Structure 1
């Protein structure tokens, strides 16, 4: 354990020697640290240890297999180790540190057993035969209330008692989860349980701000939780239809303490820092058995989003169905048609990117969540508001490869984006009687914003370091926009008297509208014979007003008929009618006034009618769930476009696409937390509205985009297979899998580059693209409840096709990813988390093989928490990122070190004062690099760097003490 201070010492040394191969030193230090910890843990298991064993049985002496055996500290019942008995009922703890312990044993249907353990002088302490007493039903209620096991395992459900996994005062649920064996929290806050991503986090079984898995874990205090339960939940479609599809969603439920159901609790924090940095945050909760009410809010200029949502994607509508129960029955739990997402009119894309680590961001946000839940009625509603202002300056280099040449663009740009949006949701579920259920869902969003974009671009002929200037552009664009969307769904389900016979019907109405103005001004100089005097100049001064309206009605029906105990026939039908209307008016601003640009203005309407009907046969027995089915679907595009609404000349688009869509799926529960899954799916995805519009967009006059109303839907053959195993006794987890996609009529963007290096792109269809991915992960405890190590690897291979000046370019990509993660939680006084990830991307081009290249991105991170005397706590977080592309001489390193020191104070430790330092090395900046199709790019963004912050937080709590009963909790 002496290597911990050595690591801290060398972090400081590395700062002084930063200019002398610091990156190699940092990597070696981190890897050496992990090795030291591994050796230290292994060594700790050998000296001064003993073995504890015994046999668990009933009163007749018959062994009880799979009983949960726990070893605890007598003082505070902190969990030291645990296991499950074998088939004969025996258990054996090896390498136990010599000392006194408390042994607890639980088994379903039997009275819990506990006994003090005092090791004898020998190497083995044998507890002999331990007899457990069958639990009488009259004793069940008393035992449940007086006996609390730190950890219990029942089938695929694991329940934790937070009291056995101590965290510092004021810690969040996220901090608690990091200490629980079998659970893992990634850097972005997403949670993995038993190797699977947690899809839903509930509070007392109720939804908390929709199904955002981070809203509860980041905002609720750990001290409010009495139980953490992890289990497999049925999918939304399976719950609605009553048919088990063999799939499951990993769910985490937070059970509140009784004390926090009587009165409100929450936290308020405020801070002031250097460089005029300010931040504030508040959350307040009031829960009881039937009602839950929560309020959260924040404001800061420290690039902290705080609510865990990607606000920009939310603004575009990706959260339109934030519960996944949009009523689309059939294969894959829904149709191919999606509402919202990337189909919005392009003027909304210029809103802030929402990437909080880019540029300088000011954030204001707030929301409220309310739940009402009884046996027959469930009601949830939430509201969320966000305002973001982003100031961003960036420099980038992009090299494009042509058939026998290349050109490089250097871009220096600045952006000032401001947007605000409101989002609300409502879900009402009513059990009318034992056979009928009604669900009503409504989600809405509306927002507005502005985007100010300034750019200076220089184009050079060649790959890099070229002096042959070709073009130069100065661009100033400003946009002002607003949008509105609402999605409404009603679902009715009826269960017939015959078991397994069900009927479900859904209907929906959706609206997605946007409107905005864009002012485009640019000066474009073209150099052919001279590098100092332009041969020609193109000036653009235009105003663009665009109004985009979308309406959609849809319906879906599902009928299930059991043919026998093992076979179920499922028949479904989907219908959708979507209407799009886009009115784009472009005017050239001249001295004489505005003149309509007939080449860029368009009025466009389109009706998309979708029908799909199908049937499938499902076999379900003893954990095996196998489905095979086929459907028929038709997409009808009926569109018209003209220069403007008053133009009597309309160009008609009338196209129909009919396809048979087969589907096969396999889900096999092999018991003991082992799952095998796989399948084949054929899907058809219609082009998005932006690509279908016959519109020319010259926002960047050197990169012009055109729509294509003749696009066909993309067809995709998809195969997947995977295996997941979690050993609840040893807490080892393993999963691996693969998937393959083959595309036909894939929508790609062909490019035409003229002699002035003006690029024009247009979407078109092409067949032959593919992608393949192979992945796996293995995790295991070095010492149960104290440390865990996981290793992951991933390989992908893809083929991307595009046309460049009429010639086909085949871009092949091979990627190799690997990573390590170490979680060390020996006590509540010290925790350490370390990770390392490597990503190698090998890209090869058919037209310009000389430009084949490898991109290497690597990240290393470590976080340490130490409890010092007098309730003082120290936290440090270090991240080191490295970006390398030798082909283009790109080599960037970014070490980031954040540290904080805080102390708890006031009565019951309700107060906390904290001093924090962010980015001590002052090296933070946004760096990215990528290679795709026929180009490679690198970008650097000036962003918030070193600053210091002094903050104070106050924890509002419910009743100060819960009612204590005799026995253990």
Structure 2
């Protein structure tokens, strides 16, 4: 026990020695021995690192934990870097010999200068090189488009150029998610893009034959870099806020040359925009798949909206002659809205107060499938088949109460309503084109069919109480309960035949013969029943507010046109006949 105080003293001395710091000092000079200030000095060990800057006398120092070895690196613009390792050997103060920095070699590395042409105009196409428009790392293609001259992008992602709205987006020449604009521009990363093309598109037939008819639509074609056509890429985001708000989305791509697959999805309850699956335009794809307005997975608007959306896009080449591409998308929205308002209309003769309270719940679901098959049978024959189908449904329920009061008058209204609807649609198109042996001689046939059926039921119960105390008390109660059924069926068929005969060797002048047949039929039904009880067991048909229309329209149109084109101008001269029934 008598040796215990001595043992404790030895342990304390050892601990104090172990905690002693290491001080490293040194100076930096040039080849003339003059001190260098502003030199960046890095101190490094296997477990630690630190930085310092030499002062006006060229001195620097570090106070770090004791270590057996350390490295010192000194760098200065225009001078060759210095790096050396040192052994401490239990010294608590380590003085480094003066560090001399010598001039770097005057020989420069080779520099490769490349030129970038930002804009290239090719007849109906304006092409922008993505390298000329720098954006932040990880930015979407939309950020590049915002920098393109003559192009505007609004807060919802809609794109306009030359006064026209861009209606469709393609990736590497094929529709991407049915041609939807925002889905491509807001999710594809800019770093994989080679160029962006803004095209006046006249349709698939014009792309095959070079013969342009009608007004073009503005489309965007995004070409990816060839070295990025193999591999996986994507992005994901998640956010959480107060009051239970959240948002998240994911976008994943797998590219292997011609085979390209993309999956995207999103969910939020922040009323933010989701993916807009409402692509449009001619040429198959999303034509007729109306997921717009309240049915699409878009912004939530008023109230609190829970929005969900998921989609799959697929593209591949089967063999040498068949190309396929298409997409499936699903979106859903559910919204709850509670509101309370009070307004006062001030008039010297009459002050009116209005108090209104309402609560509503809305939900909708949408499915859409598009598919395209292109078959180049040989160099002269081509066929494209583009079917589509979509289905949407919605349910709505609302309740409101309003009170209107003014001098000697009072009105109370209680309203309850329920509604549901469903809207299936389907259709497709077939394009066949044949090129003859002579340049410019061409025959094409285009057939399409579209069907839609919108069906809805609505129940409403409105109770009114009116009190008039002007010249005596008068109370009048009114109740209106109605059941309303609506249905709208639409069928549209079209056949177009076209033959072109060149009149010169280079096919710049030719005669074109066209025949168009169109038929559309519509049936519209509105049936209103007045109910005597809330269960709807006693009802009376309201003939005044009901209607039933059934009509069809058929047109036949034939035309013969002389067309010519040159470097400076184009001309069309022709005749057209169109009987209708």
TM-score over 0.5 for the pair? yes
Q: Does 1:482 align with 2:422?
A: yes
Deviation at 1:370, TM superposition (A): 0.7
Q: For 1:845-899, what per-residue CA distance to the aligned partner results, in whole angstroms no more than 9, with x for missing partners?
A: xxxxxxxxxxxxxxxxxxxxxxxxxxxxxxxxxxxxxxxxxxxxxxxxxxxxxxx
Return the match for 1:438 from 383, 387, 402: 383
**Structure 2 stretches lacking a partner, 5+ long:** 1-110, 344-351
Q: How does 1:527-546 map to 2 (within 5 A)?
A: 530=470, 535-546=475-486
Partner of 2:251: 283
Q: What CA distance in whole angstroms lies between the structure 1 residues aligned with 2:293 and 2:460?
A: 15
- Say which of 367, 372, 381 aligns to 2:326: 381
- The aligned residue for residue 373 of structure 2 is 428
The answer to whether the 8 Å contact 1:292/1:370 transfers is yes
Please give the alpha-carbon distance, in whole angstroms, between the structure 1 residues aligned to 2:410 and 2:297.
31
SS at match of 1:239: helix
What is the aligned partner in structure 1 of residue 283 from structure 2? 325
Distance 1:165-1:512 versus aligned 2 partners, 3 A rule: closer
Change (3 A) 1:469 1:621: farther
Aligned 1:935-946 pairs, distance under 5 A: none
Higher relative contact order (CA 8 A, sep 6+): 1
Q: Which of 290, 294, 298 is matched with 2:262 structurally?
A: 294
**Cα offset for 1:188?**
2.3
**1:634 counterpart = 2:574:** no
Which of 489, 496, 499 is the equivalent residue of 1:557? Answer: 496
> Structure 2: how far apart are the matches of 1:298 and 1:532?
62
Which has the larger Rg? Answer: 2
Residues 259-278 of structure 1: pairs in structure 2 closer than 5 A: 259-278=227-246
Query: Equivalent residues in 2 for 1:477-876 (5 A)?
Result: 477-526=417-466, 530=470, 535-546=475-486, 548=487, 550=489, 552=491, 554-562=493-501, 564=503, 565-566=508-509, 568-578=511-521, 580=523, 582=525, 584=527, 586=529, 588-590=531-533, 594-600=537-543, 604=548, 606-622=550-566, 623-626=569-572, 629-635=575-581
Q: What SS does structure 2 have at the residue aligned with 1:594?
A: coil
The alpha carbon displacement at 1:293 in A equals 0.7
Per the alignment, residue 151 of structure 1 pairs with 118
**C-alpha distance 629-277 of structure 1, shift in aligned 2 (>3 A):** farther
The farther-off stretch of 527-536 and 384-393 is 527-536
**How far 1:593 sits from its partner (Å)?**
6.1
Shift of 1:362: 1.0
Residues 488/357 of structure 1: CA separation in 2 closer, same or farther (3 Å cut): same
Deviation per CA, 1:290-321: give whole Å up to 9, x if none. Answer: 11110000000011122134xxxx5xxxx6xx
> Offset at 1:165?
3.3
CA distance in 1, matches of 2:426, 2:390: 6
* Residues 430-480 of structure 1, C-alpha deviations (whole Å, 9 max, x = no match): 2223333222122211122211123345679xxxxx868586532110113
1:207 and 2:151 matched: no
User: Cα 1:584–1:451, aligned 2, differ >3 Å: closer, same or farther?
Assistant: same
The match for 1:48 is none
Inter-CA distance 634–397: structure 2 relative to 1 (3 Å threshold):
farther
Once the 2 structures are TM-superposed, how far is the Cα of residue 533 of structure 1 from its aligned partner?
6.1
Matched, 1:366 2:366: no
Q: TM-score, with normalisation over the residues of structure 1?
A: 0.42
Pairwise CA distance, 1:531: 11
Aligned to 2:13: none
Deviation track 1:759-781 (CA, whole Å, cap 9, x = no partner) reads: xxxxxxxxxxxxxxxxxxxxxxx
Check whether the contact 1:268–1:281 (CA below 8 A) recurs between aligned residues: yes
Within 5 A, what are the aligned runs for 1:4-19? none
Partner Cα separation in structure 1 for residue 340 and residue 209 of structure 2: 53
| 1:559-587 deviation per Cα after TM superposition (whole angstroms, max 9, x unaligned) | 23447453534332213152536474736
Residues 249 and 267 of structure 2 are in contact (CA less than 8 Å); yes or no, is this contact kept in structure 1?
yes
Distance 2:229 2:297 in 1: 39
Contact preservation (8 Å) 1:150, 1:162: no
Q: Distance in 1 between matches of 2:126 and 2:356?
A: 53
Kindly tell me the number of residue pairs found equivalent between the two proteins.
453
User: In structure 1, what is the Cα distance between the partners aligned to 2:276 and 2:580?
Assistant: 39
Contact 2:442 2:501 (C-alpha < 8 Å) held by counterparts: no
Give the aligned partner of residue 225 of structure 2: 257
> How far 1:410 moved relative to its partner?
8.6
SS of 1:174's partner is: helix
Please show how residues 327-476 of structure 1 align to structure 2 within 5 Å: 355-373=299-317, 376-393=321-338, 413-456=358-401, 472-476=412-416
| 1:184 to 1:350, Cα distance in 2 relative to 1, 3 A | closer
Alpha-carbon distance between aligned partners in 1 of 2:170 and 2:209, rounded to the nearest angstrom: 22
* 2: CA distance, partners of 1:393 / 1:519: 20
Cα distance change on mapping 1:614 and 1:531 into 2, 3 Å: farther
SS of the equivalent of 1:216 reads helix
1:629 to 1:535, Cα distance in 2 relative to 1, 3 A: farther
Alignment of 1:100-139 (within 5 A): none
User: Is it true that 1:225 corresponds to 2:165 in the alignment?
Assistant: no
**What is the root-mean-square deviation in Å for CA atoms of aligned residues?**
4.0
- 1:153 and 1:587 map into 2 onto residues whose CA distance is 66
Change in 2 beyond 3 A, CA 1:542/1:620: same
CA distance in 2, matches of 1:617, 1:250: 25
8 Å CA contact 2:116, 2:131 repeated in 1:
no
* Cα distance in 2 for residues equivalent to 1:422 and 1:254: 26
Paired residue secondary structure (1:433): coil
Q: Within 1, Cα distance between the matches of 2:181 and 2:459?
A: 40
Residue 919 (structure 1) aligns with? none
Structure-2 change in CA distance of 1:528 and 1:243 (3 Å): farther
Q: 1:385 to 1:167 in 2, by over 3 A?
A: same
- Go from structure 1 to structure 2 and tell me whether the alpha carbon gap of 1:340 and 1:580 turns closer, same or farther (over 3 Å shift): farther
State the shift of 1:366 in Å.
0.5
- CA shift for structure 1 position 489: 2.2
TM-score, with length taken from structure 2: 0.67
Query: CA 1:223–1:439 in structure 2 vs 1: closer, same or farther (change >3 Å)?
Result: same
Q: Give the superposition deviation at 1:168.
A: 2.0
CA gap of 1:451–1:613, structure 2 versus 1, over 3 A, is same
Question: Distance between the aligned counterparts of 2:388 and 2:134, measured in 1?
Answer: 39
